[in-house]
A = this chain, B = another copy of it.
Amino acid sequence: MSSPKPKQEVTDTREKEVMEEGKSEQKKKVMVAIDESDCSRYALIWALENLHETIAVSELILFTVQPIVDLSYAMVSTLGSAPPDLITSIQENQKKIALTLLEKAKDICAKHGVVAKTVTEVGDPKNTIYEAVEKLNIQLLVLGSHGRGALQRVFLGSVSNYCVQYVKCPVLVVRKTV
């Protein structure tokens, strides 16, 4: 069975409010890609603290990826067809996790006096980040770097490496130093 089609959802559109301020067209767009890791939380806080002047005059978008549902185990247990209810349930659960993560990140922004928009997509992290940068016309992408060890670098750091190589806007990689 094929994976659910990636779907972009703007979960908190303050587009109208921003438009009313009359500065939307001039504003730069900064996107911070987050996940549940300490590294990405650190990257967000670093950006808010160290690029505050730049972020304050920009539109800040918090972005997270909902992983594609892996139904292989369900298909085996049900002889090849995963129950539709199960698929829906897993997807809904992942969406809730993503929204909770984004809300927490938005709270961090609010504590720094920044109102952020939130966006979530279903898909592979590399592709969805790449596509979101294109689609949302992002001028600066901020990412955490999972640089704690060689193994983590190989598995988790690959997203930041991919983005530095291929994403078309400038990419800021924030490493959490121990």
Q: Does A82 contact B (CB under 8 A)?
A: no
Cβ-closest chain B residue relative to A171 = B173
How many A residues touch the partner, as a band?
20 to 34
In the docked arrangement, what's the CA distance between A75 and B57, Å? 57
Mark the stretch among A84-92, A114-122, A156-164 that contacts chain B: A156-164
Instruction: Collect the chain B residues with CB atoms within 8 Å of residue A177's CB.
Output: 168
In the docked arrangement, what's the CA distance between A172 and B172, Å? 4
Q: Which of B54, B145, B157 contacts A51 (CB 8 A)?
A: B54
Cβ-closest chain B residue relative to A28 = B50
What is the copy number of this chain in the assembly? 2
- Which residues of A in the span 130-178 have a Cβ within 8 Å of any Cβ on B? 139-140, 145, 147, 153, 157, 160-161, 164-165, 167-175, 177
Interface centre among A147, A153, A160, A173 (most CB of B within 10 A): A173
Interface centre among A56, A153, A167, A175 (most CB of B within 10 A): A175
Q: A53-B54, A161-B164, A169-B175 are in contact. List 7 more A-B contacts (CB 8 A).
A: A50-B54, A51-B51, A153-B165, A157-B165, A161-B165, A168-B177, A170-B172
User: A interface vs B, CB < 8 Å?
Assistant: 28, 43, 46, 50-54, 56-57, 139-140, 145, 147, 153, 157, 160-161, 164-165, 167-175, 177
